[in-house]
Amino acid sequence: MASRDRTIENLIERLNRLPGVGPKTAERLAFHLLRVEQQEALELAQAIEAVRKAVKNCSVCFQLDASDPCSVCSDDTREHNMLLVVEDPREVARFEDIGYRGVYHVLQGRLSQIEGVKPEDLTIEQLLKRVADGSFREVCLATNPDLEGEGTAMVLAEKLHKSGVSLTRLARGLPAGSSIAQVSSSILSDAIEGRRPLS
Ligand SMILES: [Zn+2]
């Protein structure tokens, strides 16, 4: 091991930091990148560089976009009084696919005791500020239907309650423990159609 080139070790170590990539997979990916045509490997590096330079968090809703405010926030044809609160930008893409026409607030994660994610690690402060402006007729808490997603929705509901805004949650049709990023479009459409009020 000690004799292996330091630049290769560095690549393996960086790949190992990616979610879901263990040391074995990191090693396999690194050697794959050394085996393919140089051009192909360099194009991957360039794609990472290009996307990181071009794409930023929208300063209003915190989703990822090349422009700020993002293409959703700056679209006048959308319903700017309907707010959908999601955990990740990935979920924005899912709701866009099913034709949702309101706007979003991306929390950038969810509260988690196990992972040590606290309210100040998310964009909760910014959400409360947006809602306090009073321009929303409805705020739908579309966090995932699992333990941490439900817990996050409860904390948000508590914090948003005094704003007087109408709070809803996605319909129970979403299988418990599933993730919004993975359910079918028809289930997701039903879930947003049948959203229920939170008291
Ligand atoms: Zn935005």
> By C-alpha distance, which of 140, 168, 143 is closest to 153?
143
Q: Which domains does the chain have, with CATH numbers?
A: 6-54 (1.10.8.420), 57-197 (3.40.1360.10)
Band (2; pLDDT cuts 50, 70, 90): low
Task: Give the angle subtended at the CA of 152 by the CAs of 146 and 156, to the nearest 5°.
Answer: 140
- CA 11 to centroid of ligand 1, rounded, Å: 34
Looking only at the bridges linking them, the beta strands covering 196-197 and 138-141 are: unpaired
- CA 89 to centroid of ligand 1, rounded, Å: 10
- CA 104 to centroid of ligand 1, rounded, Å: 7
> By C-alpha distance, which of 95, 123, 104 is closest to 63?
104
Contacts of 144 (CB under 8 A, 6+ apart): 87, 110, 178, 179, 180
- CA 81 to centroid of ligand 1, rounded, Å: 14
- CA 61 to centroid of ligand 1, rounded, Å: 4
Which residues is 139 bridged to in the sheet?
83, 167
Average pLDDT in the 137-162 region? 94
- CA 69 to centroid of ligand 1, rounded, Å: 5
pLDDT reported for residue 4: 84
Cis preceding-peptide flag for 69 (omega within 30 of 0): yes
pLDDT digit string, tens, across residues 79-118: 999 999 999 999 999 999 999 999 999 999 999 999 899 9
- CA 46 to centroid of ligand 1, rounded, Å: 26
- CA 105 to centroid of ligand 1, rounded, Å: 8
Average pLDDT in the 152-172 region? 92
Average confidence score pLDDT of the chain: 93
- CA 131 to centroid of ligand 1, rounded, Å: 15
68 CB neighbour count, 10 Å cutoff = 12
Q: How far apart are CA 63 and CA 72, in angstroms?
A: 9
Q: How far apart are CA 183 and CA 194, in angstroms?
A: 16
